[in-house]
């Protein structure tokens, strides 16, 4: 709870993964990948309840073993490639009937995000008037290194104003007021503010190379 506002943390983790099959329960530095996000959420002082939304038996077992709740199964309609995070979150809120005022979405593919990041992001949301807070990081390569390919692979520099102000959404955390989520159906509605995180805690695992990099950076 933060400033009297109940916080529900939700980890969405479906069983299907094409690039890295079974990645949510694959051992990452000796523990299932999803366990890292569960442990961070449980260690965060502001989180009141932690729930995992999944359709997969192996993920259920790993989540329960790590200390999370799995009070329902995600329906097949929300377990495919086309299922969006908003629909998954709204389903969880409706299924739980939890009186939380703030929803914190934590993707299991961001294992290096820490409890201190979670608490600081929630504090930023509680202290201001913003509808939501999202995790961001500085792009690995400045935009000046990007080019646009044309006919015959001819390159044209990508011109972007305010390049120093550009940030990358890292996917590590999304904190939003529940009433805003229900109305806007978006985790980054107008007025959303950023919570900056260092690159080494912003790895979002999608490929085998991401996995290797995250393991190399893991404490």
Q: Kind of pairing, strands 147-149 and 155-157? A: antiparallel
174 forms beta bridges with 105, 134
Note the maximum CA span of the chain: 60
Record the pTM.
Answer: 0.91
Q: What is the mean pLDDT of residues 171-200?
A: 97
Tokens of 39: 């442990």
pLDDT at 83: 80
Rg of the chain, C-alpha, whole Å: 18
Q: Please, are residues 52 and 34 in contact by the beta-carbon 8 Å criterion? A: yes
Q: Nearest to residue 140, comparing CAs of 78, 54, 84, 202?
A: 202
Residue with tokens 């069983």, as numbered in its chain:
15
| Rounded Cα–Cα distance for residues 216 and 219 (Å) | 8
- What are the residue ranges of helices labelled H in the chain? 33-43, 57-66, 85-96, 115-127, 178-184, 208-217
pLDDT digit string (tens) for 116-174?
A: 999 999 999 999 899 999 999 998 776 677 788 989 899 988 777 666 788 999 999 99
Does 1 fall in a domain?
A: no
Tell which residue, 50, 31, 23, 28, has the closest CA to residue 115.
50
Question: Residue 119 belongs to what domain range?
Answer: 7-217
Which CATH number do you get for residue 16? 3.90.550.10
Give domain status of residue 66, yes or no.
yes
Q: Domain count for the chain, please give it.
A: 1
Q: Residue 46: inside a domain, yes or no? A: yes
- Asked, for residue 76, whether it belongs to a domain, the answer is yes
Q: Is residue 135 part of a domain?
A: yes
Residue 50 covered by a domain? yes
What pLDDT is recorded for position 97?
A: 94
Q: Is residue 127 part of a domain?
A: yes
């Amino acid at each position: 709870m933060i400033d009297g506002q109940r916080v529900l943390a939700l980890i969405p983790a479906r069983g299907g993964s094409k690039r890295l099959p079974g990645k949510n329960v694959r051992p990452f530095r000796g523990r299932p990948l999803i366990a890292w996000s569960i442990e961070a959420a449980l260690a965060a002082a502001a989180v009141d309840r932690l729930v995992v939304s999944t359709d997969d038996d192996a993920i259920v077992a790993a989540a329960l073993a790590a200390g999370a709740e799995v009070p329902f199964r995600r329906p097949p309609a929300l377990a495919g490639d086309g299922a969006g995070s908003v629909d998954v979150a709204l389903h969880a809120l409706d299924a739980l009937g939890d009186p939380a005022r703030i929803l914190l979405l934590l993707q299991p593919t961001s294992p290096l995000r820490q409890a201190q990041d979670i608490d600081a992001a929630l504090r930023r949301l509680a202290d201001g008037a913003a509808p939501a807070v999202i995790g961001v990081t500085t792009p690995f390569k400045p935009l000046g290194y990007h080019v646009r390919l044309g006919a015959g692979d001819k390159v044209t520099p990508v011109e972007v104003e305010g390049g120093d102000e550009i940030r990358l959404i890292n996917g590590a955390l999304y904190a939003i007021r529940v009433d805003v989520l229900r109305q806007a159906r978006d985790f980054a509605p107008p007025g959303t503010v950023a919570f900056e995180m260092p690159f080494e805690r912003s790895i979002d695992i999608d490929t085998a190379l991401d996995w290797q990099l995250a393991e190399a950076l893991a404490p």
